[in-house]
Amino acid sequence: MAKFNYFFVFLITGLLALGCHPKPDANHPKTAVKFSQNKVTWASGKSQALPASRGHDTLTTLFLVRHAEKGTGDDPGLTAEGKARAERMAGLLKEAGITRVYSTNYKRTLATAEPLARRLRIAVGQYDARSMEDAAAFFNKNFSGEKVLIVGHSNTTPNLVNLLVRENALPQIPDDVYNNLYVVFLHANGRVDWWPVKF
């Protein structure tokens, strides 16, 4: 029995060392305060390692978020609260190693993406959310090994996550919810992991 227990402990320790990263509970997502290249720090003060590329398994990491609080009108910009949230998100992700920032072509999404792009000194690219299948294929195929922020809408962001993870995981985001962040890990071997996060 003692030998079995030692073997079990050795096995679990080995799996953790090889990169088993249990995702946060989808029903009770944790609140993140900072992403770095290889870990996330939670509001509790604890840190958790992020999945990473290993050998031939190149990892692409996508951060998907809905635009921040918006004003009124046909193509509204952000409210003061929304601008503050966009800046807070930029602080959250500025050290995550993001190399690309994408947004739909609306004032509210572009304004949400702009603070991080400005800090990283990179241009904001645009994608067309009218065909989510095409958008999913675009992000799936073109950014191997990179980390990308994708800003969308209450309906398109969860739809894009569902297409990327190949399951009906998320409903539409409620109108008054702006603090959801979804982190999708695309492995070169075809495996997909994803984490729901609050910020």
3-state secondary structure 22-43: CCCCCCCCEEEEEECCCEEEEC
Domain total for the chain? 1
The 10 Å Cβ neighbour count of residue 130 is 9
> Which of 19-28, 51-60, 178-187, 188-197 is least confident?
19-28
Inform me whether the pLDDT recorded for 179 exceeds 60.
yes
Inform me whether the pLDDT recorded for 155 exceeds 90.
yes
For 104-154, what is each residue's pLDDT tens digit? 999 999 999 999 999 999 999 999 999 999 999 999 999 999 999 999 999
pTM of the model: 0.88
**For the packed helices 80-93 and 107-120, what is the interaxial angle rounded to 10 degrees?**
40
> What would the DSSP string read from start to end of 104-132?
-SSHHHHHHHHHHHHHHT-PEEE--TT-H
Q: Both tokens of residue 114?
A: 């702009």
Q: Could you list the residue range(s) of the whole structural domain that residue 139 is in?
A: 2-198
Angle at 47 between CA 65 and CA 30, to 5 degrees: 45
Specify the residue for token string 């500025």.
94
**How many residues are recorded in the chain?**
199
CATH number at residue 160: 3.40.50.1240
Supply the DSSP symbol for 173. Answer: P
